[in-house]
Amino acid sequence: RFYTDRPDSEAFGQNSGLGLNISRQIVVAHGGRIWAENRSGSSAKQGRRRRGAAAARSRNGAGASFVVRLPAA
């Protein structure tokens, strides 16, 4: 079972947050790596508060992309 103590507010989001963890387990099981990177031209930085359009992009996930690297077969 999975338990969470996340806020119930709509602004926080209603997702469980398990997707990236499950993806990581699959990628690692195949000998690969997965990580997040800022998209080019993005100002997304951990711990920084943004307002206006930058905050909207952050809420929509526009500030990061996930990279998967698997070994060649």
Mean of per-residue pLDDT scores for the chain: 70
Query: What pLDDT is stored for residue 46 in this prediction?
Result: 46
Please indicate, yes or no, whether the overall pTM of this predicted structure exceeds 0.85. Answer: no
CB 49 within 8 A of CB 23: no
**Residues 10-43 pLDDT 10s:** 666 666 667 888 888 999 999 999 888 877 765 5
In the numeric block, the tokens 């997965």 are attached to 34
CB 24 within 8 A of CB 34: yes
CB 2 within 8 A of CB 16: yes
What is the three-class DSSP state of 70?
coil
Lowest pLDDT segment from 2-6, 24-28, 37-41, 65-69: 2-6
Q: What is the end-to-end Cα distance of the chain in Å, rounded?
A: 35
